[in-house]
Structure 1
Amino acid sequence: MFLGIDLGTSSLKVVLLDNNEKLIDSVSMPLSVQHPQPGFSEQHPDDWWQALQQAMLQFKKRQAAALQQVRAIGFSGQMHGATLLDERGSVLRPCILWNDGRSAEECRWLEQRADFIGITGNRVMAGFTAPKLLWVQRHEPDIFARTAHILLPKDYLRYRMSGDFASDMADSAGTLWLDTARRQWSEELLVACNLTVNQMPELYEGNQVTGTLYDTLADDWGLPRNTPLIAGAGDNAASAIGLGVLKAGDGFVSLGTSGVIFVAADQHYANPQQAVHSFCHALPERWHQMAVTLSAAASLSWFSRLTSTPEAQLAQEAEQHDAGDVLFAPFLNGERTPWNAPHVRGAFFGLADQHQRGHLARAVMEGVAFSLADGYRALQQAGCAPHQMIATGGGARSQFWLQMIADLTQCRIIVPTYADVGAAFGAARLARLAIEPEALSHLTSHAVPATAIIRPQSQPDLQARYQRYQQLTRWLCQQEG
């Protein structure tokens, strides 16, 4: 048996897999986000810990015998969050989350102070950890002075479970303090933030053991004593492990709240000029690149709320209508790849009085597909676009939506038998790979079971609308500057 813990933004999820990776049970506990000021986004680490405690106690009631057979625990979690501890390990302030935008000024300053782009392969963005710490130094100097340890969200849970200050390469790459190609902390980048390596966690590959569970927790949760804790990965890398995206050129497209095109690589590629994320993968000698659109399925959810119409009905109406001249820029929470325009906002273009709800629903879905196509082209320019993509996320239930993406990228999309395995499954799989390293060869040599394969088609009208979208969104994003 293997446990996978995924600390998300809206919930904490724990899954239990058997030795053949069959899902035995899962528990999810809700989490809330605090917004003390506009653009601020925070959670208190104590809430994560309480959620994990409650989840494990539920597991103990439902799966007591199975828990006694757990061989290892893997971790996944939301990336980039700044969790600050003092020298005694006490939390100094709420964690500043990945979607917090307060540090835009600090981003510009850091890019001028050190070679963040050259060393990490990434632009300095407000979502990453490094500018958050500079903001704390400038606005909360007393807290900055008392900061002895900086942990990413999931690694705080690890610390509470074992006392170890440890992290994995994939998640740590999102701090912007990691030399991504060399897979080690960069002293130059830490110095730029007035930090030292001593404040950073020890680095591990995602399938390495970082420590063992405290005996007291093992007894409370009904787990074997000395259960190994495995490094794990950030949420996207863990999802990739769960989907079997391991070899160079393997990829996935995620239609979740945000949209992601993820590709695995056997070397460090970068395209920071177009806001491609370039991180370490969760396994040794592997890297990954990501193109991100911040509002993917969230755009359809927004239109659903606006029109008081279920999302499934809107998707059906979109199939029955042609968008015509209507175009939608899905920048409800800013834009990431390729423009890196955090303050730009979404828009409809070409509205006329004959347009109905179905036309707009089609434009929303096309706009998300257009944004992801922009991201795919940015990956192509980095030299690392995927040769095929596995579909995941809630929006992947719509093969109509996936066909649009396949047609625009001219990339085949595989709809897996289990389209929403999630990061928690990947975390549990990394736990298995730590205990059974020989299982990796099986994973890399077997194809993902598929319910459908979506092959790209030629769609001249769709491509023409995409070209018009590119012109309009280029203008829109340039207005921010």
Structure 2
Amino acid sequence: MSFYLGIDVGTASVRAGLFDDNGRLIGMSVHPIEIHRPQADFAEQSSDDIWQAVRATVRTALSEAAATGDQVKGIGFDATCSTVALDDQERPVTVSPSGDDRWNVIMWMDHRAGAEADAINQGRFEFLKHVGGQISLEMHPPKLMWLAKHLPESYARAVRFLDLPDFLVYRATGRDVRSLCSTGCKQGYLAHEGRWDEPLYQDAGILDAVHTGKVGREIEPPGKLAGRLTEHAAQELGLSAECAVAVSIIDAHAGAIGCLGAMEDPDACLALIGGTSACLMALSREPRFVSGVWGPYFGAVLDGYWLNEGGQSAAGALMDYALEYGPGRLAERARAENRDPYEYANALVAKLQAGFDPPASLARHAHVYPDHHGNRSPHADPRSKGQVDGLTLGADPEDDAILYYATVQALAYNARDVIEALNTKGYRVSSLRVTGGSVKNPVWLQEHADATGCEVIAGEQPEAVLLGSAILGATASGRFETVRQGMAAWVRPGETVQPNPSARAFHDAKFRQFQAMYRQHLERRKAMDEAR
């Protein structure tokens, strides 16, 4: 019997999922990883710590499924788009103001490189056309520029700057094969032309990273065979050295593979991956340039397709924040009763909705703009801030529940904002294919259906990110000829949530106020920036 592994390195944990030949999950394991925050806006990790967590999760997943290592024929890696620095002996190189080599990963959510991103955005570079007009401070070139300026010894000592998914492939195979997904979406590689945006790198003062191969020389599409496990890696993971390793993919993009399925009409469906952050992904046969939305990226998910990517930097993290830090101490009270805070909050919301028509109007006068960690899209504004309108002196759990509910609605309105931007450029989005931790929340599902007017379809397999990576591993092993063939075979629809027509007028009105909040924020920001 043949099995396939999907390994997902998220923000705070590593997960491994073992799938059988029919795409059924038969074993799974989760292991935490460390996050180091030396100062505000900095977030760092250790590649050694991450690899140790990979080892632990793989072995546990195999044990749970009562499988042997030689039965695993293919492995696919996905991870956050974080930057890993290694020296010529494959040892960690510090990216931290602490100077500790242990911390050699700049996390995706690290916002240290704001000034560097601003400097790049002053130019007229080809890559900027493919990131909605503005490079994000979460992407690699601003972070490399920051390292060259602030930690020049580290920049010089590093011989490889790898996206975290590519690091995992390198550690597993010993081959430095970079993914078209990571390089094309985050690093300034123009995949449709097969070249780096060298003027961007030159203007940033880091052109040597291209010429010396620090950012990679061999670039291949996700799912292609990157190599086989080295004997050492096979021993560490408890697998066979014959196991095929796929070219990697970014975590959210693996989720798109694991939830889009057969894609009968690509222009009408959108993948929404709801985790710590939220990512929305649309695929098209032709390039579509959408202001404030990343892309179009050629071949980043599927060969022959262009990707547009929107999202929000704080999504699940923002709902957590609303529950944990409200004056009513909702999360604390829930845990005191041995209840999940989300279930507790949703029960309060359902109770409070009695007498409201539509039920969503419970939050009629509670307005949230969810840019607490900046706006990824459709405004590409990392300096945007979160806003709340409608606060009172109430300090009961019921007050927290209403604010939480308004936060869920705000995240749904952000999705609608992105969808409307995409639809102006040729998409016809009417169906959201969703995955991630937020899919377990029925309030999140219904509000996204009602606020966007789209049907919301959760996959039969809730661990769609792991499934997407396993499909890559299966493709690399020869189980499927193409990634899309694997999607059609293994991705099956599950629960479908339809929008409530009676809530449409309410959400239309509140969405207009949502958009107005950003315009008002810009006005206030401009006025205070000009104040002397």
- With normalisation by structure 2, the TM-score equals 0.83
How far apart are the structure 2 equivalents of 1:340 and 1:186? 20
| Match in the other structure for 2:158 | 147
How far apart are the structure 2 equivalents of 1:205 and 1:288? 13
Match of 2:57 among 55, 60, 67: 55
SS in structure 2 opposite 1:4? Answer: strand
- Residue 337 of structure 1 deviates from its aligned partner by 1.4
Q: Confirm whether residue 474 of structure 1 aligns to residue 489 of structure 2.
A: no
- Distance change in 2, residues 1:377/1:276 (3 Å): farther
Q: Confirm whether residue 258 of structure 1 aligns to residue 277 of structure 2.
A: yes
| Match in the other structure for 1:386 | 429
How far apart are the structure 2 equivalents of 1:20 and 1:215? 28
How far apart are the structure 2 equivalents of 1:351 and 1:221? 52
How far apart are the structure 2 equivalents of 1:30 and 1:448? 29
| Match in the other structure for 2:334 | none
- Identify which range, 124-133 or 433-442, moves more after superposition: 433-442
How far apart are the structure 2 equivalents of 1:404 and 1:64? 40
Q: Confirm whether residue 85 of structure 1 aligns to residue 96 of structure 2.
A: no
- Distance change in 2, residues 1:299/1:111 (3 Å): closer
Q: Confirm whether residue 318 of structure 1 aligns to residue 361 of structure 2.
A: no
Q: 1:119-164: CA deviations, max 9, x gaps?
A: 5555211100110000011111122222322211122222222211
- Which structure 2 residues correspond to residues 121-140 of structure 1 after superposition, within 5 A? 123-140=134-151
Contact 2:131 2:292 in 1 (8 A): no
Q: Confirm whether residue 196 of structure 1 aligns to residue 210 of structure 2.
A: yes
Gaps of 5+ in 2: 95-103, 331-340, 354-361, 527-532
How far apart are the structure 1 equivalents of 2:378 and 2:67? 50
Q: Confirm whether residue 336 of structure 1 aligns to residue 367 of structure 2.
A: no
- Distance change in 2, residues 1:331/1:160 (3 Å): same
| Match in the other structure for 1:450 | 494
How far apart are the structure 2 equivalents of 1:442 and 1:29? 27
How far apart are the structure 2 equivalents of 1:263 and 1:106? 29
Contact 1:120 1:181 in 2 (8 A): no
How far apart are the structure 2 equivalents of 1:392 and 1:417? 10
Match of 2:182 among 171, 184, 207: 171
- Identify which range, 438-447 or 374-383, moves more after superposition: 438-447
Q: 1:306-338: CA deviations, max 9, x gaps?
A: 233222222233343311222111222222212
| Match in the other structure for 1:111 | 121
How far apart are the structure 1 equivalents of 2:150 and 2:262? 41
How far apart are the structure 2 equivalents of 1:478 and 1:246? 45
SS in structure 2 opposite 1:274? Answer: coil
Aligned-CA RMSD value: 2.5
- Residue 230 of structure 1 deviates from its aligned partner by 0.6
Gaps of 5+ in 1: none
How far apart are the structure 2 equivalents of 1:44 and 1:138? 22
SS in structure 2 opposite 1:58? Answer: helix
- Residue 289 of structure 1 deviates from its aligned partner by 1.5
How far apart are the structure 1 equivalents of 2:74 and 2:24? 15
Contact 2:255 2:468 in 1 (8 A): yes
Match of 1:460 among 488, 492, 505: 505
- Which structure 2 residues correspond to residues 407-426 of structure 1 after superposition, within 5 A? 407-418=450-461, 420-426=462-468
- Residue 225 of structure 1 deviates from its aligned partner by 2.3
How far apart are the structure 2 equivalents of 1:120 and 1:345? 21
How far apart are the structure 2 equivalents of 1:6 and 1:171? 15
| Match in the other structure for 1:102 | 112
How far apart are the structure 2 equivalents of 1:447 and 1:18? 13
How far apart are the structure 2 equivalents of 1:410 and 1:262? 17
Q: 1:355-402: CA deviations, max 9, x gaps?
A: 944433332222222222112222223433533111222322334433
| Match in the other structure for 1:270 | 289
Q: What percentage of aligned pairs have identical amino acids?
A: 24
Letter in 2 for 1:433: T
Letter in 2 for 1:265: S
Match of 1:231 among 238, 247, 252: 247
- Distance change in 2, residues 1:445/1:124 (3 Å): same
Letter in 1 for 2:21: N
Contact 1:246 1:264 in 2 (8 A): no
- With normalisation by structure 1, the TM-score equals 0.91
